[in-house]
Amino acid sequence: MKIVIVGPAQSGKTTLIYQIIRSNTNITFPLILDGYEDLALPNMQHPPAHVNYIITTTNINNVPATLRNNALILDVARIRGLPGAG
């Protein structure tokens, strides 16, 4: 499972990560990046296809297409009905 959580600062991205983990105790994520812009590693452009991950970002365009492909993308602003959401 690959999950990308998108939203502005202080919108609840980290809270959503914790909720996903608590709600799915049988799922493991070997890679969790909270704040893609700050924590991205050079080799993240092409992670192994079998790696499950959750990453957060303030802008989906900051995440390379190779990471977005076949990922569940959760827009926190849209989910929470924040002003200016999609």
- The model's pLDDT over 7-28, given as tens digits with 9 standing for 90+, comes to 988 889 999 988 888 888 887 7
What pLDDT is recorded for position 38?
A: 76
Contact 12, 76 (CB under 8 A): yes
Q: How far is CA 5 from CA 8, 17, 63, in A?
A: 10, 8, 11
- The model's pLDDT over 29-83, given as tens digits with 9 standing for 90+, comes to 888 888 888 776 666 666 666 788 889 999 999 888 888 888 999 999 888 887 6
Within 10 A of 53 (CB to CB), how many other CB atoms are there? Answer: 17
19 token code pair: 């909720």
What pLDDT is recorded for position 5?
A: 93
What pLDDT is recorded for position 74?
A: 93
Q: Where are the domains of the chain?
A: 2-80
Residue 3, phi-psi category: left (phi > 0), alpha (psi -120 to 50), beta (remainder): beta
